[in-house]
Chains A and B, each alone.
Chain A
Amino acid sequence: VPMGLFWGDIAEGVRVEVLNSDTNLSTKVYWIAEIVRLAGFKALLRYEGFDNDSSHDFWCNLGVKEIHPVGWCASNGKPLVPPKSIQHKCSNWKAFLVKRLTGVKTLPHDFSKRVQESTQYPFTKLMRVEVVDKTHLCRTRVALVEQVIGGRLRLVYEESQDGSDDFWCHMYSPLIHSIGWSRSIGHRFKRSEVSKKIEGLIDAPSQLFLKVKDVDQSGDWFKDGMKLEAIDPLNLSAICVATVRKVLADGYLMIGIDGSEAADGSDWFCYHSTSPSIFPVGFCEINNIELTPPRGYNKPPFKWFDYLRETCSIAAPVKLFNKEVPNHGFREGMKLEAVDLMEPRLVCVATITRIVHRLLRIHFDGWEDEYDQWVDCESPDLYPVGWCQVTGYQLQPPAAQSTRE
């Protein structure tokens, strides 16, 4: 996210120069404030001189508002004037500020430049990419970048006549790839039959896309028919019984959800073998997660041992799965802004309700639990509070009881 790489420089106690809104002066004046609390991109600020008085504290988005390091006003000829509510409290502001500020932290001198730079993205309009076909998950299609907001791309499928057949995803989504990717790994691809040529089209360079880890497929590897557990791409609330349907090149796998597969495999879905959305048999049981059995399974309760025997299949070896758990720092109850991956143009107010290793259960505030989604802690679809304000993206507020339908 923007500012992510230098967020460690920002903490409670850091002093900044910010507009002074407690003044009768007609010109813009500034004053020094302390960050007393952080919540996502938002900081609760208290002007110097208010001591323990929180009555004038104010929230400000560090990626949006004019926030400067201490010293910026002097360098830029801007006046530092104490707020009028406390002007009378001190007869020597110079001595007061020297005492308050000596030895404390301020922002880096290039803070504004870094904020600006961190909101630039390499994708531009009219770049061509390969993206999953939202109506046939088993194949990709060519789409054009139509819009870029905060690293999120609005892609329009190349054949769309009126530009309305679109798909939103983050530029680091595992659902988009450079042109030629499908052919290189053996993935199904729907060729576009485009009648008119658009000027200015370019294929997005491959270095712009998410890199996946190299894997060694030469030894023990996934094989067709092996069973596993996988997040259902059509219902991200559920982890389901699934099967490896086809082994592709470069570590990619086509996965089918048992009991709900179309006969022609049109709803198989491509996951990389290192994907945090696929798990070895038994993952749900070990972690006390309800595993969704195959639709129509008529011998509940579902038992893997019996099912493997009944289907004459074997479980994919545990050693082939991604077992890395980043020290992510997420905690249950934390609020964030999260993409509704069933409607990926929407970024919503959400809460983390459960954490299983690297997997987060995301609850969309105001909605029933059945709409919760399992999301990886490193997903590019999770954002700190205030991200929508920083990027100019519309935030979906919590659903009101009456509008849930």
Chain B
Amino acid sequence: EATGRKWEQKQVQIKTLEGEFSVTMWASDDKK
């Protein structure tokens, strides 16, 4: 809170030798 950042759900792309896919992860970001 004090840093002006908040946790948000993000669709994260992952690309392995088996192909590309996405997972939902949490990452912090600047507050808008």
Contacts and interface: CB of A to CB of B under 8 A. Distances in A.
B8 to A, nearest CB: 10
Given A8-B3, A105-B7, A70 B25 contact: yes
A9 B28 contact: yes
Which residue of B15, B18, B27 has the most chain A CB atoms within 10 A of its CB atom? B27
Interface residues of A, number: 30
Nearest to A103: B24
Contacts of B21: 94, 98
Interface string A87-110: 000001110011001111111110
Q: Is the interface of B mostly helix, strand, loop or mixed?
A: strand
Interface stretch (A73-81, A231-239, A256-264, A322-330): A73-81
Interface residues of B, number: 21
Q: Is the interface of A mostly helix, strand, loop or mixed?
A: mixed
A101 B7 contact: no
Contact of B25 (A74, A94, A104): A104
Nearest to B13: A74
A80 B14 contact: yes
Interface string A50-84: 00000000000000000001110111000111100
Contacts, number: 79
A312 interface: no
A80 B10 CA distance: 19
Interface string B1-32: 00101010010111111111101111111000
Given A6-B3, A8-B3, A102-B23, A94 B16 contact: yes
Nearest to B17: A81
A194 interface: no
Contacts of A74: 13-15, 20
B23 A101 contact: yes
B18 A94 contact: yes
Given A70-B12, A73-B15, A74-B20, A104 B5 contact: no
Nearest to A107: B27
A305 B13 CA distance: 72
A245 interface: no
A104 B12 contact: no
Interface in A210-242: none
Contacts of A109: 10, 27, 29
Given A81-B17, A105-B7, 5 more contacts: A9-B28, A70-B12, A74-B20, A93-B18, A94-B18
16 contacts: A5-B3, A70-B12, A70-B14, A70-B23, A71-B13, A71-B25, A73-B14, A74-B14, A97-B16, A98-B23, A101-B12, A104-B26, A105-B26, A106-B27, A107-B27, A108-B29
Sorted nearest first, the 3 A-B pairs with minimum C-beta distance are A74-B13, A71-B12, A74-B15
Interface of B: 3, 5, 7, 10, 12-21, 23-29
